[in-house]
């Protein structure tokens, strides 16, 4: 878990068909890259290793059938390329306040030669170090601002596998005519498709109500696999799906789950069995800290050594009529975790102490109409299972957390901070009934 695997998917190659006739769809270029020399009109020498070039246009670079020809698709910022052909066709274009000089060159994509404008290529990769610093190390996000979502499910959509992230639980909808986020053609007494994509008008309304901008990113953190996947909001479809209980005869906007549909075959194959172990945040900064999520594997202990303190008299009073079933402990980063199960094991008492023996967490989990205490992963059990509980510092600039102790049939789980007084970060899971 300590060796975090960064799958930085913003820079993956994508093929997108476009009707644009411009050499580049960029508006964010901040400097002029060194143009390819006009003195050389020949292909790269067969006797010399091909030089790697990187796309500098932040909004991507179009590639075409022939120089200045039909657009076939777009390469993302920082895509690595090798020039296969120099055409000798030079051009100077205006990009904002900049004049960009370059040559139309041939590169190979999917074993085919396509052409693009070299003014947006450089031998130096973009400022990836600064970008990673912003994404992986710095955050100013407070606990109250941490809107954490989950992947609601994954499914096959034709030839592709998608992951759906419902955002409805984080968005207060309004029936004001200027605020409705679903088109009238999907409302009322009519047959509607199970899934539809919000058009620009309704997408903008929904994201505005959610306080999400198109320039934001979707951060998907899998604490079991210790991976972080990043997707740009502006490139991700916003879909409305009928809720799991179906659509009523008269359809309202409240009958839909609305969220991002991520189509990513790599991510699907990588984490299909573990999508329930993913946390999602949408914003400008990455709030997650990798390498610290630790599964809790409990070790049985003598019940007489369980530290039931006078500091928690309300818990002693609540549990005094229950018979102790078994007791466990777990140690991590100089903290000691104690858990005791009662009766038929459907009541659990958890307490955590710091290295200086100070109480930092104290909670009872009981069986109820909406919640059930989760199973435990125990040392030396005959059939080891996937870990259920986790702890560690998974949010930047915030205390360590602990979670995974309850199943929820109603409502949503939370992520508790290991501190007193207790605070919890709710997971917005859209668990409607």
SS3 48: coil
What CA–CA distance (Å, rounded) separates 142 from 145?
5
Q: Is position 419 within any domain? A: yes
Helix or strand holding residue 232 (H, E) = strand 227-232
**Looking up tokens 């917005």, which residue turns up?**
428
Q: Give yes or no: residues 300 and 424 share one domain.
A: yes
Q: Give yes or no: residues 397 and 304 share one domain.
A: yes
Min mean pLDDT across 19-33, 59-73, 186-200, 214-228 is at 19-33
Q: Is position 138 within any domain? A: no
Q: Give yes or no: residues 91 and 30 share one domain.
A: yes
What CA–CA distance (Å, rounded) separates 288 from 290?
6
Alpha helices in 255-411 (DSSP H): 265-271, 313-319
Peptide bond into 403 cis (omega under 30): no
Q: Give yes or no: residues 169 and 238 share one domain.
A: yes
| The two three-digit tokens of residue 111, written as one number | 């074993």
Min mean pLDDT across 19-23, 225-229, 249-253, 361-365 is at 19-23
Residue 50's contacts (CB-CB under 8 Å, 6 or more residues apart) are: 44, 82, 83, 84
Q: Is position 355 within any domain? A: yes
Residues facing 94 on adjacent strands:
99
Q: Is the pLDDT of residue 316 over 80?
A: no
Q: Is the pLDDT of residue 116 over 60?
A: yes
Q: Is position 388 within any domain? A: yes
Q: What is the pTM of this model?
A: 0.67
SS3 194: coil
Residue 101's contacts (CB-CB under 8 Å, 6 or more residues apart) are: 32, 35, 90, 91, 92, 119
Q: Give yes or no: residues 317 and 192 share one domain.
A: no
Q: Is position 433 within any domain? A: no
Nearest to 205 by CA among 171, 164, 252, 250: 171
Q: Give yes or no: residues 244 and 338 share one domain.
A: no
Nearest to 280 by CA among 106, 429, 131, 120: 429
Range of the domain at 424: 294-428
Segment 34-58 shows an average pLDDT of: 53
Per-residue pLDDT of 62-75, as tens digits, reads 889 999 988 887 78
Contact 240, 255 (CB under 8 A): no
What CA–CA distance (Å, rounded) separates 25 from 77?
11
Q: Give yes or no: residues 278 and 363 share one domain.
A: no
What CA–CA distance (Å, rounded) separates 69 from 55?
19
Peptide bond into 421 cis (omega under 30): yes
Contact 264, 208 (CB under 8 A): no
* Domains identified in the chain, total number: 3
Q: Is position 133 within any domain? A: no
* pLDDT at 279 (0 to 100): 93
Segment 283-297 shows an average pLDDT of: 93
Write phi, then psi, for 184 (nearest 5 degrees).
-60, -25
Contact 211, 147 (CB under 8 A): no
* pLDDT at 29 (0 to 100): 35
Q: Give yes or no: residues 268 and 162 share one domain.
A: yes
Per-residue pLDDT of 204-217, as tens digits, reads 999 999 999 999 99
Q: Give yes or no: residues 77 and 177 share one domain.
A: no
Q: Is position 5 within any domain? A: no
Contact 35, 105 (CB under 8 A): no
What CA–CA distance (Å, rounded) separates 378 from 296?
9
Q: Is the pLDDT of residue 291 over 50?
A: yes
Nearest to 430 by CA among 282, 154, 243, 204: 243
Helix or strand holding residue 164 (H, E) = strand 160-166
Q: Give yes or no: residues 190 and 245 share one domain.
A: yes
* pLDDT at 158 (0 to 100): 55
Residue 339's contacts (CB-CB under 8 Å, 6 or more residues apart) are: 298, 327, 328, 329, 330, 348, 349, 350, 351, 376
Q: Give yes or no: residues 215 and 236 share one domain.
A: yes
Q: Is position 2 within any domain? A: no
Mean pLDDT over each residue of the chain, to the nearest integer? 78
What CA–CA distance (Å, rounded) separates 121 from 248?
54
Q: Of 76-80, 110-114, 132-136, which one has max mean pLDDT?
A: 110-114
Q: Give yes or no: residues 97 and 198 share one domain.
A: no
Segment 127-152 shows an average pLDDT of: 66
- Angle, CA of 308, 371 and 300, to the nearest 5°: 40
What CA–CA distance (Å, rounded) separates 282 from 230?
10
SS3 235: helix
What CA–CA distance (Å, rounded) separates 291 from 297?
17
CA 324 vs. chain centroid, Å, equals 41
Nearest to 414 by CA among 355, 349, 370: 370
Contact 172, 209 (CB under 8 A): yes
């Amino acid at each position: 878990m300590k060796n975090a695997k960064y799958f930085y998917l913003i820079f993956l190659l994508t093929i997108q068909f476009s009707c644009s006739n411009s050499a580049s769809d960029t508006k964010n270029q901040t400097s002029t890259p060194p143009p390819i020399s006009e003195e050389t009109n020949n292909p790269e020498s067969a006797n010399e290793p091909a030089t790697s070039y990187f796309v500098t246009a932040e909004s991507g670079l179009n590639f075409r059938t022939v120089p200045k020809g039909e657009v076939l698709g777009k390469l993302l910022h920082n895509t690595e390329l090798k020039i296969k052909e120099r055409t000798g066709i030079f051009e100077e274009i205006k990009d904002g306040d900049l004049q960009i000089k370059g040559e139309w060159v041939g590169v190979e994509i999917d074993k085919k030669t396509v052409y693009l404008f070299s003014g947006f290529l450089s031998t130096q990769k973009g400022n990836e170090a600064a970008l990673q610093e912003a994404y992986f190390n710095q955050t100013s996000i407070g606990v109250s601002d941490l809107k954490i979502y989950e992947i609601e499910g994954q499914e096959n959509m034709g030839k592709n596998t998608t992951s759906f992230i419902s955002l409805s639980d984080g968005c207060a909808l309004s029936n004001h005519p200027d605020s409705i986020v679903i088109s009238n053609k999907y409302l009322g007494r009519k047959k509607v498709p199970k899934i539809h994509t919000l058009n620009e008008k309704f997408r903008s309304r929904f994201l505005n109500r959610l306080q999400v901008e198109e320039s934001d990113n979707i951060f998907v953190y899998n604490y079991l696999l210790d991976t972080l996947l990043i997707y740009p909001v502006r490139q991700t479809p916003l879909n409305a799906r009928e809720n799991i209980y179906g659509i009523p005869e008269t359809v309202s906007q409240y009958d839909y789950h609305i969220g991002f549909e991520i189509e990513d075959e790599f991510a699907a194959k990588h984490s299909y069995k573990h999508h329930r172990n993913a946390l999602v945040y949408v914003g400008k900064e990455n709030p997650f800290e990798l390498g610290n999520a630790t599964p809790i594997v409990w070790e049985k202990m003598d019940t007489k050594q369980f530290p039931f303190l006078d500091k928690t008299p309300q818990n002693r009073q609540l549990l005094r009529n229950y018979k102790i079933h078994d007791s466990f402990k777990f140690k991590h980063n100089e903290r000691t975790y104690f858990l005791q199960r009662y009766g038929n094991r459907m009541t659990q008492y958890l307490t955590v102490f710091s290295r200086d023996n100070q109480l930092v967490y104290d909670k009872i989990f009981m069986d109820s109409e909406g919640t059930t205490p989760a199973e435990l992963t125990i040392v030396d059990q005959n059939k080891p299972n996937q870990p259920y509980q986790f702890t560690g510092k998974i949010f930047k600039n915030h205390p360590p957390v602990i979670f995974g102790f309850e199943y929820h049939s109603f409502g949503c789980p939370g992520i508790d901070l290991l501190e007193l007084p207790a605070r919890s970060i709710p997971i917005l899971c859209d668990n409607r009934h």
